[in-house]
Structure 1
Amino acid sequence: MNTPDLGALLADIETLVTCESPSKDHEALARSAAEVAAIGRRLLGTEPEYLLTEGCPHLRWRFGPGPARVLLLAHHDTVWPAGSLLTHPYGVHEGVLRGPGCFDMKAGLVMALHALAALPERAGVTVLVTGDEEIGSPRSRVLIEEEARGCEAVFVLEASADGGALKCRRKGVSQYRVEVGGRAAHSGLEPEKGVNAGVELAHQILAVTELADPARGTSVVPTVLSAGTTVNTVPAAAVVALDVRAWDLAEQQRVDAGLRALCPVLPGARVRVTGGVNRPPLEAAASGALFGLADSLARDLGLGPLAAAAVGGASDGNFTAGLGVPTLDGLGAVGGGAHADDEHVLVAELPRRTALLTALVEAVLSGRPGRSEGVAR
C-alpha cells in the first residue's frame, strides 16, 4: 500500500480547521474556499472553478475531456459559529486530532484532495466541494445533482460511522412548518371571544406525533415552536417546526399525506402546512456494489474487513442516491463527536482511509466490478 504522507495531511487539515466557516457566514466561507482552492491547486496542479450561488461559494475540479465517471463529494462549511476556535482550539494529542469541524468534515475534504493527487490518471473524475451542506444544501442541490447524473460512482467524504463503518444507508429527511391562525382577545376580560392558537397548536402537535412509526424507523419530531405576543392576550398565531426521518420514500410520502390532511380542532382556528421532502433516503441498494468493492480493496490493502452502517442523519449523498446513482458514504475521517464538544479524528486512520479512497477511484475508472453483499439493511 502506497501510504499518503501523514504530516502533509495534518498540515492541510490544520489549515482548514483553523479557517472557520459557518454555513451562513458568506465572508468566512469565501476565506475557507480560498484555502481549499490553494490546497487543491498545490496537490492537483490546476485551479478549481468558483461557483457562487446566492453568495455561497462552492468549488469544482473536473478532469478529462469526457463526461465524469466518478464524483468526489465534500463540503467546507461547518455548524460551528465564528469564535469556536477560542473554546475548541485545534490540536493533536496522543493520536487524536481536535478542532471545530475536523470530523465533519474538513479532514474528509483534505483526504479527497490527497487521494486524487495520488492517482496517476484522473480523467473522468470530478471533485465538488459545497458550502451549505450543514443547512440542507439549499443553494448547492442543483449543482450536486447535475454533477452526479451519469456517474458510475459517487464517493461522499462525510465522516465514518462508529468504529470506521461506511454509511451505506441513510434516512431521508423532510422538514415542515405547521402554522396555526386563531383570534386575539383579552385573556382576562373576554377570553371566550378569542381562538387560542396555542391550544390549537397543542392539538396539532399531538396529531403529528401520531404519524411516527417507531417500528419502521419513522420519526416525526416537533422542534422549534412559538405562540402568542403578551401574557394577557389570547394567542392569535402559533407555529411549530417538524423534523421527519424515514428509511424509505413510501414512508416519507405517507407522513407527507398525513400532514397535508391536518384539520383544525377548535372552531374558528386555521391550520397551514408548508415544507416537504428535503433529502430522499439513501437506500441500501445504492451502496451495495460499491461497498463490496471497498471491502475487497480494504482486504487487498491490509486494512481488514469493512463494516457497513445505517444512520439517521442525512448528507448530500442522499441526493445522488435519489437519482439512482451508485453512492458510497462515510469515506472520510474515523473518529466521533460530530457537532459536539468532543469532535475528534483518529490520526492513525487518516493515511489508511486516504489510500482506500485512492484505490476505490482507480478501481472504478479501470472498470473493476464490486460485490454487493454485506450492506446494512
Structure 2
Amino acid sequence: MSITDWTRQALPAMLDDLKDLVELETHSYDRPGLRKGLDGVRALAVERLGVPSQEVLHDGGERGDVLELTYPGTLPGTVLLLSHYDTVWPAGTLAGWPFTVADGRVSGPGVFDMKAGLVQSIWALRGLRALGLPHPSVRYLFNGDEEIGSPFSRPYIEAASEGALASLVFEASAGGAVKTARKGVGLFELSVTGVEAHAGLDPDKGASAIHALAELVTKVAGAGARERGTTVNVGLISGGTGRNVAAGHATSGIDVRVTDVAEMGRIDDVFADLRASDPRVQVSLTGDWNRPPMTPNPPSQRLFEQARAVAAELGWPLKEVAVGGTSDGNFVSALGRPVLDGLGAVGDGAHARHEHVLVDHIPARTALTIGLIAALS
C-alpha cells in the first residue's frame, strides 16, 4: 500500500480526532480550558500511538502547560514535531460556531490554526508504523501559549530542538506552500505622562500626554522601512480622562516586524531616542522583541529540498514562501538548526470567522510528513 493510499483510508478517523480536539475550547488565557484541552491531546496521542517511552509535563502556571512525548524509532536520531494547542477563540465560541464538515471544508474555532496540523502530526507516526517504514525517534512538543508569543514554552522548544535531525512545525500552510522564512516581531508599549489642567481655564498649565503621544506616533510609524522588510504598526491608543482636561497619561501599543536581525538594533535606537518636544512630558517604553526573524539557514534549506523531493515522489509540487507572521519555528531557526514550518493544514482564515481546512488536502499533507520523516533517517 502506498503512503497516500494509507492516509486516504485514515481520513475519516482523522476527522473524528479533529472534531474531538476542536470541541475542547483552548483559548490562550483560559487556564482550565487549556488543561482540559491538553488532556485531550495526550489521550489522542496515547490512543493512536500507545504510551510514550518518555513523558514530561512542564507546569505553565497561568499559561498553558508544555507536554513532551517521545516515541522510539527504529533508526538513530530524533525528529521534533512542534504543535500548539491554544487558539485565539474565547470559551463559548463553539456554541455559535460548531465543528462542521460540509462542501469539502472543515470549519470551527482553531481548526486551521492549528488543530488540523496537530492531528496530522500524530497520524504521521501512526502511518510510519503501519507502513513498516524505518524512522528515527519522534518527540512531540505541545504548547499552549503560542498565540501569545510562547513566553513560557520558548526555553523548552529551544532545548528540545537541540541535536534534532529536524524540527517540523505544524502551523497551517500558505496555500499549500511550506514556510521557510518568517519575520521577527517586537511588541512594545509607549507610555507618556503629562500634566493635567483645565483645557479652558488653564490651558498653559497643562502638558497633554495625548498631544505628545500623537507627535511620537508619527516618529514611531516613520521608522518602518518596507524596502528592508520592516513594518511598524501602532495598533492601540488610549489615554485622557475628559475632553476638557489636558491628558495626564496616554499609551500606545506597537507591533514591529523585521526580516533582518540588524533591523532590530535600528528600531531599538529609534525607540531609545524618543523625546517629547514639551520638556514637562515624560516618555517611557516597555516591551521587547518576542521572536527573532526566521531566515533560511543552510540546514533548513537542505531540509526543504528533502521535503520537495518527497512531495515530487508523491506526485505533486511543493513550494516555499516567506510570510509576515511568526511561529515557534522562529526560535529554532535563530539557533541555526534545521526547521521546516507550515506542514499543517491547507485552508484559510486564521483568527477569522471563515477559518477552515480543505478536507482533500489532509491525506496529502500527512503523507508528506510520513515521507519526510522516513527520508530523514
Task: Please confirm whether the aligned pair reaches a TM-score higher than 0.5, indicating the same fold.
Answer: yes
Aligned: 1:60 with 2:65: no
Task: Find the residue that maps to 1:42 and give its secondary structure.
Answer: helix
Q: 2:334 aligns with which of 296, 299, 322?
A: 322
Aligned residues: 363
Q: Confirm or deny: 8 A CA contact 2:48 2:126 kept in the other structure.
A: yes
User: Which residue is 1:374 aligned to?
Assistant: none
* Deviations 1:80-114, CA, capped at 9 Å, x for gaps: 11111122211111211111100000000000011
Contact map agreement 1:63 1:122 (CA 8 A) in 2: no
Displacement after TM superposition at 1:291 (Å):
1.1
For the residue of structure 2 that corresponds to 1:348, the secondary structure is: helix
CA distance in 2, matches of 1:8, 1:130: 24
Rounded Cα–Cα distance in structure 1 between residues aligned with 2:61 and 2:260: 31
Report sequence identity in percent: 44
CA contact under 8 A between 2:93 and 2:109: conserved in structure 1? Answer: yes
Name the counterpart of 1:51. Answer: 58
In 1, the alpha carbon distance for the partners of 2:335 and 2:241 equals: 45
**What is the match of residue 138 of structure 1?**
151
Q: 1:332 Cα shift?
A: 0.2
1:322 and 1:62 mapped to 2: Cα distance? 24
Q: Work out the CA distance in 2 between the residues paired with 1:123 and 1:215.
A: 42
Confirm or deny: 8 A CA contact 1:256 1:276 kept in the other structure. no
Q: 1:300 matched to which residue of 2?
A: 313
TM-score, length-normalised on structure 2? 0.93
Match of 1:266 in 2: 278
Q: For 2:297, what is the secondary structure of its paired residue?
A: helix
Secondary structure of the equivalent of 1:14? helix
Which position in structure 2 is the counterpart of 1:98? 107
Q: Residue type matched to 1:10 in 2? A: L
Q: Is the 8 A contact 1:165 1:309 kept in 2?
A: yes
Q: How does 1:110-121 map to 2 (within 5 A)?
A: 110-120=119-129
Q: Distance in 2 between matches of 1:184 and 1:50?
A: 51
CA deviation profile, 1:285-325 (whole Å, cap 9, x unmatched): 363111111110011122x1111111000000001111111
The amino acid across from 2:221 in the alignment is T
The answer for the alignment partner of 2:349 in structure 1 is: 337
Which of 228, 231, 244 is the aligned partner of 2:243?
231
Looking at structure 2, the residues matched to 114 and 50 of structure 1 have their Cα atoms a distance apart, in angstroms, of 22
* Structure 2, unpaired ranges of 5+: none
Q: How does 1:122-201 map to 2 (within 5 A)?
A: 123-162=136-175, 164-201=176-213
Q: What is the CA–CA distance in structure 2 between the aligned matches of 1:68 and 1:21, rounded to whole Å? A: 32
SS at match of 1:53: coil
> What is the CA–CA distance in structure 1 between the aligned matches of 2:162 and 2:216, rounded to whole Å?
40
Shift of 1:331: 0.2
Q: In structure 2, what residue type is equivalent to 1:110?
A: V
CA contact (8 A) 2:136 2:373 kept: no
Instruction: Write the distance in 1 (CA, Å) between the matches of 2:77 and 2:147.
Output: 25
Per-residue deviation at 1:67?
9.3
Q: CA RMSD in A?
A: 1.6
TM-score, normalization by structure 1? 0.93
1:52-100 Cα distance to aligned partner (Å, 9 max, x none): 1224222111234999631100000000111111222111112111111
Give 1:225's aligned amino acid. I
CA–CA separation in structure 2 for the residues paired with 1:107 and 1:125: 19
Q: Which amino acid aligns with 1:269?
A: V
Counterparts in 2 of 1:232 and 1:293: CA distance versus 1, 3 Å:
same
Measure the CA separation in 1 of the matches of 2:77 and 2:231. 37
Unpaired segments ≥5 residues, structure 1: 367-377
Matched, 1:217 2:229: yes
Contact 1:64-1:122 at 8 Å conserved across structures: no
Q: Answer yes or no: is the 8 Å Cα contact 1:68–1:126 preserved in 2.
A: no
Moved more, 42-51 or 323-332: 42-51
Aligned-residue offset at 1:258: 1.1
- After TM superposition, give the deviation of residue 122 of structure 1 in Å: 5.7
Aligned match for 1:80, one of 86, 89, 96: 89
Given that residues 95 and 347 in structure 1 are in contact (C-alpha distance below 8 angstroms), is that contact kept between their aligned partners in structure 2?
Answer: yes
Q: Is the 8 A contact 1:116 1:122 kept in 2?
A: no
Deviation at 1:152, TM superposition (A): 2.4
**Is 281-290 or 172-181 further displaced after alignment?**
281-290
Q: Secondary structure at the match of 2:286?
A: strand
Tell whether the 8 Å contact from 2:296 to 2:333 is kept in structure 1 after alignment: no
